[in-house]
Amino acid sequence: MKGGLTWLVFLTASLVASVTAASAQAPAAPAAGGGLHRIAYIDVQRVLARSAAGVAAREQLEREKATMQKEMDSKRVELEKLREEIEKKGALLTPDARRERQEQFERKRRDAARLADDFQKELERKESVLLQKVLQEVSGIIERVGKERNYYLIVEKRGAGVVYAAPDADLTDEVIRAFDQQVPKGSAPTPPAGGPAKKP
């Protein structure tokens, strides 16, 4: 899968918006003794890496990827055989027959390249759908935890550019526990059906 669409990259834009919106609705409550508002942070990448739903989503994507890889491996073997045949028997073929085999090889190579591109885009689309579903559920839990714990503000650790964070302000594990209780174990959002579109 392309490095450009990693879990962290996808989260940065979505999570800062959703977490900010959720925490903005939480009631303000002064910290004991200091008169300062209570602030906490969430490491959403860790939520996705360790929560049951996040793990299930990644496993589902890996299964999709394995299926696509199997088909691409089949195409690669087919191309290898055709290339070897051209190399071994090329001298025995007439110029027209050799040219026809070479054109056939090039067509199959282009088709395989287009299929690989289609598969890559399809994986990215499914990853986006699965992660968006998880993020929507997580943002609701963050809002609930924030209200229950009387936090004035909850930020996403990476997206907010936090340079120092006390361990006591980390709500990530609490959010993971709440998320796992809310979502059935091993379940993952279901992406829309349908494979990559076939190009003519």
User: 171 with 141: CB under 8 angstroms?
Assistant: no
**Helix (H/G/I), strand (E/B), else coil: 153:** strand
Dihedral in degrees, nearest 10, Cα atoms 58, 60, 65, 70 = 140
Average pLDDT of the residues in 83-99:
84
The range of the structural domain enclosing residue 20 comes to 7-29+38-182
Q: How far apart are CA 39 and CA 199, in angstroms?
A: 51
Q: Per residue in 152-173, pLDDT tens? A: 888 888 776 776 777 888 888 9
Q: Per residue in 1-53, pLDDT tens? A: 444 334 443 443 444 444 444 444 444 444 444 444 588 888 888 888 899 98
pTM: predicted TM-score of the whole model, two decimal places: 0.59
2 falls within a domain: no
Q: φ and ψ at 39, to 5 degrees?
A: -130, 140
Residue 41: which H helix or E strand, with range?
strand 39-42
Q: Quote the crossing angle between the two packed helices 95-148 and 52-89, to the nearest 10°.
A: 170
Q: How far apart are CA 187 and CA 196, in angstroms?
A: 24
- Structurally, how many domains does the chain consist of? 1
78 falls within a domain: yes
Range of weakest confidence among 26-35, 72-81, 83-92, 145-154: 26-35
Q: How far apart are CA 184 and CA 7, in angstroms?
A: 22
86 falls within a domain: yes
Distances (CA, A) of 191 to 10, 37, 70, 123, 195: 16, 40, 20, 10, 11
Nearest CA-CA partner of 8 in 34, 44, 37, 35: 44
61 falls within a domain: yes
191 falls within a domain: no
Looking at the DSSP assignment, which residues form a beta bridge with residue 156?
A: 42
The token pair at 12 is 């940065």
**Residue carrying structure tokens 């890889």:** 69
